[in-house]
Structure 1
Amino acid sequence: MTHAQIMRALSGLLLGFFCAILSSTVVTNALPRIISDLGGGQSAYTWVVTSSLLAVTASTPLWGKLSDQFSKKILVQSALVIFVIGSLIAGLAQNPATLITARVVQGFGGGGLSALGQVVLAAMIAPRERGRYSGYLGATFAVATVGGPLLGGVITDTSWLGWRWCLFVGVPFAVVALVVLQRTLNLPLTKRHVKVDWAGAFFVTAAVSTLLIWVTFADDKYNWLSWQTYTLVGGSLVLTLLFLFVETRAGEPIIPLRLFRNPTITLASIASLFVGIALFAGTVFFSQYFQVARGETPTMSGVMTIPLIGGLFVSSTVSGRLITRTGRWKGWLLTGGILLTVGLALLGRLRYDTPYPYIAGCMALIGLGVGMTLQNLVLCTQNQVSVDDLGAASSTVTFFRSLGGAVGVSVLGSLLTTRIGHHALSTIGQLDTQDQVTAAKASSGGQLPNPALLPAPVRTWLEGAYGHGIGDIFLYVAPVALIAFLVTLFIKEVPLRATNATAQLTETERTP
């Protein structure tokens, strides 16, 4: 296929991917207002993010395995339909519980789009050339990520629209993507009559869900060391063991355990787990910082995150092209790990009055690091598996990245509540008696406060607590990114293959 033919075939896929990312990021800067209007608190704020990540995590291996058995085109279109249904339910939500449920549906569709995007790329494009087109995928991710918060902020601040339209905005893009996919994406279909590993899908979902319930409510509803902790952690371990038992006996396991005999796949999966923690947990609290700790509007909150997305856009496109030109990828992987770690560590000094140029520089470092890391962990995995395991291997790496993000957001969301409370309590004595009463009322009730409605001294006190608390979160995430970097040191750089998955499949079928 020529470059023009590949881009035409990828157009609908990239549009669908754009739709998923846009609908996910467009609510980022609206979340503080959404949770406030629906009467939720910090726990609801965290779960709106976590529920979607959980669904992505649990569904990614299933989508990947299905892509090894059924039409990739139909699967992508099905994921788009599911995503649209979730978006419509979310836009009509009247309480946090409904919104969280809708985010689960959205996440299930989004998991399909994320997993299948990499699989379709691998089916059409050889690893040696894939860096260039993975760069296009990364650029689409960057454009949707930078456009989402900005668009969401404008929609939220526009009185005749409101935040609900942030949840509806992805629907037209999804409809267009469905039409374009129907006309442009044509891949050979290999019919394989095998059973889907539903038991494996159930147990991995149950194990992850139980773990997330524990980390979300620990230190809030119960202590870290309590009977609830022992029950939930023990239950998660039992479910994990049941999952492993089922996978060893499944004819077509959702995550083939034999893949982990390959050191590259094992190391890439571990690195993806820690990168997921650093990526999602390290960035999901930016909108809360800018709006609560600095009093910015949702629109300005989106504008102020541009350095993060700019770094991601530049590094994903540049590194992708250079990998295609040189065939060398590990250096980019290691450089990305260093930049990500340094950026997060520097943000550990974050406070409510930290100069914005300092914050922008740190965000740019994080964006550069993420752009060099995410796609290359998938690329090095795809380069070492057979065509029959392409979908499963790709989705396995994505699964661990999403798992890390879901667990990281939950754990750090709980820690953030604790750190904010600690800093608020240690500084409340600086207020006079009347302001202390006002501050106590503002911080009670479990809902996210609106700083604009508070007296100036109380507002400064609240912004200081949030700014310091979120700075602590970045400081906690930096060592996690360092672990991911150390793991990637041991990944062996294998030359990229010059044939795509479809060509490999054709050659296999021709071989007697």
Structure 2
Amino acid sequence: MESIAQTENSTTNKHASGLEGQQRNYSRRETILTMVGVLLIMLLASLDQTIVSTAMPHIISELRGFDRYTWVTTAYLLTSTIMVPIYGKLSDMYGRKSIFLAGIILFLTGSALCGMSPSMNALIGFRAFQGLGAAALLPIAMAVVGDLFTPRERGKWQGVTGAVFGLSSVIGPAVGGWITENSNWRWVFYVNLPIGLLALVVLIFLMPSLSGKGKNVSIDYLGATLLIIGTVPLMLGFTWAGSTYSWLSPQVLGLLALAGLALAAFVIVETHKERTDKQPIIDPSLFRNKIFVISVLITMTTNMSLFGSIFFLPLFAQGILGISATNSGLLLSPLMLTLVCSSIVSGQIVSRQGKYKLIAIIGMAISVCGAAMLLRLNIHSNASDLWLAMVVIGFGMGFGVSFYTLIVQNAIPDKIGQSTSALTFFRQIGSTVALAAMGSIMTTTYQPAFHNAIPAATRQALPTHIITIFDNPNILLSPETQSLVSKQFSVLGAQGMATYQLLLNAVKIGLAQGIHNTFILSLSFMLGGLILVFFLEDKPLRGREAVEKKPGQDMAESDSHSSSYTR
């Protein structure tokens, strides 16, 4: 891109940092203290996701919100997705530290409110508020790593950041399950508070400021408004389509049309702002970079697949296999641990070789095999079947999708904050759309599959209001409800209990079919990612030695790189 060459030609001082020298030479103390703050933030964000996911079946049972099961996460993703590119741009302009502080305060306030939720609708609303802060956590944390280290050095740091995600993947589900069974589910949100407060202390008193552009900066209010107007209806349309409203309903078509108009206006406005150097939230020129575009498409499709799988696995474990909340949380550990371990290994390989395409292809192929293995799960499956599929998925995903942030930062070194947040933005858009689509598929599949699983004679013999009790699979997640309903059937003796077990089995069949259909969609997304990875350019990763180059050499390389950026 031309802006890279312009930046290097502007002044001697600017060139001293250089295209290859975007990483300022921080002292060892500054680097370590900064990474402590970054790792605490990563732990905070990843723990929240794993703890809440495990507790969700129990939460929807107590708050009676199976029909809004996916909304608790959708609302969180909705607001956090909208804010990601805004935070990324602001962090480039004003520095990372202040944005971290603002994000954590909002996140912790939202966590406290979620814990006090009196109803399902209130929880959904407070999760949306929590998402406003969450948007500043992981994307900017990764941008900070980009500030501190060169692309080849970042591969080695995947081991440290991966260990944080590994810790959260083991502790999070176990803590979430234990809290759900032995305390009150509200503590899955309150547990964020001590970790968040510790992160705040580290940021305020220990972390040095990573300066932004300083003076002469402006906030793109019009672009932010158009982005919000375009993103919210888009995700709401996909969320309501097929469940609340039909796909061709005026409500859904109206939302999608509004989103299309707003996003088209957003592109026009941002293009004009970039041409006039008025600092748009997302520079349209990013999409002239082939590496960025392919990386965005791959992370969107693969995250759509992984997110859908992870979200519905605890429901399958608790509802179909009858595993407790604690143990269902632990069941996710193989997936996350293999993902982290393979991510660490792939990071070391990429860091040493400076190339990434072959590893990405191998990882994606393994992930496709794992996604296909999920299709084998049914009401006759056991925990081992689930465990094996998750190990394969985790191993493949760790090798296949763990370093696209690094790839994008390497391709666009002068816009680390913006490119990192844009990648996260589109990844979360994909996750939200996939989750909404999968939730719609599951809920619309369940009832027909449940009724078809009931023998015709039983269906005709039982009153409609009895069968209606089982129209909601919440009964599989609530031992109290099962006990109450079974007592009513026990009055009819052995035949009554046999009928009860038959209906309960039909509920499992219906739920299993609904989840199976979500796994089909998950596999299709993963196959799309496998095809896309073959189009990824294998651009060598830059190393620290580039900083040592003479100005003339660096300028020459910059010119050659600029042409490749605009391909």
TM-score normalised according to structure 2 size = 0.84
What is the correspondence of 1:468-507 to structure 2 with a 5 Å cutoff?
Answer: 468-499=513-544
The answer to whether structure 1 residue 164 and structure 2 residue 191 are counterparts is: no
1:347-370 deviations in Å (ceiling 9; x for gaps): 112212213222211111111222
**Aligned residue for 1:255?**
282
Distance 1:275 1:311 in 2: 17
Q: Structure 1: which amino acid aligns with 2:60? A: I
1:119-167 per-position Cα deviation (integer Å, ceiling 9, x unaligned):
1001000101101113322331232133211101101101xx2100111
Deviation string 1:258-317 (CA, Å, 9 cap, x unpaired) is 011110011111112112211212211111111112222110111222211121121111
Cα drift, residue 438 of structure 1: 7.0
SS in 2 for 1:443: coil
Match of 2:38 among 4, 13, 17: 13
Task: Count residues in correspondence.
Answer: 503
Alpha-carbon deviations, 1:63-105, whole Å to 9, x = none? 1111111121121122111110110010001112211111112
Measured in 2, the distance between the counterparts of 1:79 and 1:487 equals 34
| Matches of 2:457 and 2:363, distance apart in 1 | 44
What is the CA deviation profile of residues 399-429 of structure 1, one whole-angstrom value per residue up to 9, with x for unaligned ones? Answer: 1111100110001100111122232121122
Q: Does 1:355 align with 2:382?
A: yes
2:401 match: secondary structure: helix
Q: Which amino acid aligns with 2:226?
A: F
Report the AA paired with residue 23 of structure 1: D
Letter in 1 for 2:451: L
Say what the alpha-carbon RMSD is for the aligned residues.
2.5
Q: Which segment drifts farther, 176-185 or 258-267? A: 176-185
* Cα 1:431/1:145, change in 2 over 3 Å: farther
Residue 233 of structure 1, aligned match among 256, 265, 270: 256
Shift of residue 4, structure 1, vs aligned partner? 7.9
Which whole-Å CA distance do the structure 2 matches of 1:199 and 1:293 have between them?
Answer: 49
Which runs of no fewer than 5 residues in structure 1 stay unpaired?
none
Q: Is the 8 A contact 1:127 1:383 kept in 2?
A: yes
Of 47-56 and 440-449, more deviation after overlay is shown by 440-449
Superposed displacement of residue 171, structure 1: 0.7
What's 1:103 paired with?
127
Q: Greater shift after overlay, 16-25 or 325-334? A: 325-334
Match of 1:55 among 76, 79, 97: 79
Shift of 1:188: 4.3
Deviation digits for residues 437-478 of structure 1 (CA, Å, limit 9, x no counterpart): 576223347967546305322222211221222122111211
Residue 284 of structure 1: SS of its match in structure 2?
A: helix
Cα deviation, residue 56, structure 1: 2.0
SS at match of 1:382: helix
Q: Name the counterpart of 1:331.
A: 358
Q: Confirm whether residue 218 of structure 1 aligns to residue 241 of structure 2.
A: yes
* 2:321/2:383 contact within 8 Å kept: no
- 8 Å CA contact 1:132–1:320 kept in 2: the answer is yes
> Where does structure 2 lack aligned partners over 5 or more consecutive residues?
1-25, 486-499, 556-567
Q: Secondary structure at the match of 1:68?
A: helix
CA contact (8 A) 1:451 1:462 kept: no
**Whole-Å separation in 1 of the counterparts to 2:292 and 2:230:** 22
Q: Which residue of structure 2 lines up, in the alignment, with residue 30 of structure 1?
A: 55
> 3-state SS of the aligned residue for 2:188?
helix
Q: In 2, distance between residues paired with 1:330 and 1:450?
A: 43
- Report how far residue 15 of structure 1 moved: 0.8
**Correspondence for 1:86 among 110, 131, 140:** 110
Cα displacement (A) at 1:5: 6.3
What does the per-residue CA deviation read over 1:202-242, in whole Å, with 9 as the maximum and x for residues that have no partner? 22222222122222222233222222232122112111112
Shift of 1:187: 4.3
Letter in 2 for 1:69: M
Q: For the structure 1 residues 325 and 61, does the alpha-carbon distance in structure 2 shift closer, same or farther, using more than 3 Å as the test?
A: same
Residue identity matched to 2:517? D
- The CA distance in 2 between the partners of 1:294 and 1:378, in whole Å, is 37
Matched-pair contact (CA < 8 Å) for 2:42–2:141: yes
Q: Does 1:264 align with 2:291?
A: yes
Looking at structure 2, the residues matched to 375 and 185 of structure 1 have their Cα atoms a distance apart, in angstroms, of 26
> Using the alignment, how far apart are the partners of 1:68 and 1:336 within structure 2?
32
- 2:32 and 2:335 map into 1 onto residues whose CA distance is 27
Taking a change above 3 Å as real, the CA distance of residues 7 and 500 of structure 1, as seen in their structure-2 partners, is farther
- Contact 1:125-1:500 within 8 A present in 2 as well: no
Q: Distance in 2 between matches of 1:444 and 1:400?
A: 36
1:240 is matched by which residue type in structure 2? L
Which one-letter code corresponds to 2:533 in the other structure?
T
CA distance in 2, matches of 1:284, 1:332: 26
Q: Distance in 1 between matches of 2:280 and 2:355?
A: 32
Assess if the C-alpha contact under 8 Å between 1:83 and 1:110 holds in 2.
Answer: yes
Q: Highest CA radius of gyration, 1 or 2?
A: 2
Q: What's the % identity of the aligned pairs?
A: 29
Q: 1:390, 1:110 → 2: CA distance?
A: 19
Given the superposition, is the C-alpha separation of residues 266 and 464 from structure 1 closer, same or farther in structure 2, using an over 3 Å criterion?
same
* Contact kept in structure 2, 1:139 and 1:316, CA below 8 Å: no
TM-score, with structure 1 as normaliser: 0.92
Q: Of 151, 165, 168, which aligns to 1:144? A: 168
Q: Which amino acid aligns with 1:316?
A: S
Distance (Å, rounded) in 2 between the aligned partners of 1:179 and 1:397? 29
Match of 1:279 among 283, 286, 306: 306
Residue aligned with 2:94, SS:
coil
Q: Distance in 1 between matches of 2:239 and 2:473?
A: 15
Q: What is the DSSP-based 3-state SS (H/G/I as helix, E as strand, rest coil) of the residue aligned with 1:221?
A: coil
